[in-house]
Amino acid sequence: MTLQAIALAVLTFLLFSCLVVMIYCMTVYRGLTAVKRELDRAYSGLDALLQERFEASGELMELCRGFVPRDSRPVRELAQIRSLWAIANNKTDRLKSAADSDRALQSLMAAAQAVPELSSTEYFARVEKRLAGIEQQVADRREKYNSAISAFNERIEQFPVRWMSGYTGFTAQPYFGSYSPARNATFGARQGAPNL
């Protein structure tokens, strides 16, 4: 075998190896983008529902005006969290505001339910029912979103995808947590008197 034939064989092997690596990298990248698209779809649905929940919490705050003092802890907390939600400009901040709103919204609902003149109105019953429905949907979407996050985060931690994810800009995404062990209380169920 001549030196030229050996050099040609080595060059062919190197070109073939580079082609295999490129195809593998493209396949991995396409897989990551597909998982990321699914994650973005799950977040989009969750975000829309959370926006609806914040709008409904505004209705609850308006309804409570005159019955629950404005300077009470539940009203202050929810107003502050709603402000943070409004100015949040990234997914992490929005999810943190939404998670923080769970307890504040439950406290305000408890405060409203403790006032018989308010809790016996038809409008309060509608708002309470709407919030209960939204909360159920949020819980379902939270599960789907966190499942998509889990799949995405596990995928980018695998070798050699972990090495490639840094170059392609894929980073671990935040989970959407939930307040309270076992959801502390549910909307629509009468709760004890709050700390005002």
Token digits for 185? 């209380």
pTM: 0.76
The pLDDT score that the predictor gives to residue 55 is 94
Report residue 178's pLDDT band, with 50, 70 and 90 as the boundaries.
Answer: low
Query: Which domains are assigned to the chain?
Result: 34-183 (1.20.1440.20)
Token digits for 157? 């931690």
Helix residue ranges per DSSP H, 65-121: 73-87, 91-113, 116-119
Rounded Cα distance between 89 and 63, Å, is 28
54 pLDDT more than 50: yes
CB atoms within 10 A of CB 82: 18
Contact in structure between 54 and 95 (CB atoms under 8 Å): no
180 pLDDT more than 80: no
Q: How far apart are the first and last CA of the chain?
A: 91
| Average confidence (pLDDT) over 58-79 | 86
For residue range 147-174, list pLDDT tens digits in order: 999 999 998 888 878 877 777 888 888 8
57 pLDDT more than 90: yes
Higher pLDDT, 96 or 161: 96
Report residue 47's pLDDT band, with 50, 70 and 90 as the boundaries.
Answer: very high
84 pLDDT more than 90: yes
The angle that helices 3-64 and 122-157 make with each other, rounded to 10 degrees, is 160
Rounded Cα distance between 52 and 183, Å, is 20
